[in-house]
Structure 1
């Protein structure tokens, strides 16, 4: 199994249930894990034989620009778009952390994590 990671991607965005979250915004930290076969690219040294990190990064940035109430909704959209563009992916796990959730107490953030397998069931 081969994996691609995008780690600690920091994006300023406007998501949340409270109206002020959609006006003020905050930073989000995203961590993505993708399982796919990278061995052809390992042999060929050709970008066409792999999945471009830049393309994945652009999908994430595009979807983070769309305001949503729930991080689960944002994560679901990102996972769907990535798999639509790269059908050779077997598995995606995405964690999104809101760094300044409007809650009492001091914390690094509040996170959700979604994962989806695209392998056919035997």
Structure 2
């Protein structure tokens, strides 16, 4: 299956379990692999036959800015579901959500989800 990768997309979201985490939006990093048939776009060089990854990135940023999840697990899982619903051409989504600024002695904490479109 063909894939589109969006890597290192910075988004802001209110997220966290503790009161001090919920005082302001935090920086999160989204890495997503979008499994989609790109053969027609590749054969025709016509943008109308591909997935508009700029819209995907914008949608992810808007999803994050409106979210108020406590756990990155819930956030990432719902983000994957949103992608599959919003972009029905997707066959599968793999998403890694990183919370890089949370542990002082660690570069990053992340969760990863992978789901296929149900037809």
**Aligned-residue offset at 1:26:** 2.6
TM-score, normalization: structure 2? 0.89
In structure 2, what is the Cα distance between the partners aligned to 1:22 and 1:59? Answer: 22
Aligned to 1:111: 110
Whether the aligned pair in 2 keeps the contact of 1:16 and 1:68 (CA below 8 Å) is yes
Trace 1:57-96 onto structure 2 (pairs within 5 A): 57-65=57-65, 66-96=67-97
In structure 2, what is the Cα distance between the partners aligned to 1:68 and 1:33? Answer: 22
Whether the aligned pair in 2 keeps the contact of 1:91 and 1:119 (CA below 8 Å) is no
Instruction: Tell which deviates more after alignment, 74-83 or 90-99.
Output: 74-83
Instruction: Tell which deviates more after alignment, 31-40 or 21-30.
Output: 21-30
5+ residue gaps, structure 1, are none
CA displacement, residues 88-122 of structure 1 (integer Å, 9 cap, x when unaligned): 21110100110121x4x5111111111102266xx
1:10 and 2:20 equivalent?
A: no
Aligned length: 118
Aligned to 2:40: 40
Instruction: Tell which deviates more after alignment, 2-11 or 80-89.
Output: 80-89
CA displacement, residues 63-106 of structure 1 (integer Å, 9 cap, x when unaligned): 111111011221122212211122121110100110121x4x51
SS in 1 for 2:19: coil
5+ residue gaps, structure 2, are none
Moved over 4 A (4+): none
TM-score, normalization: structure 1? 0.87
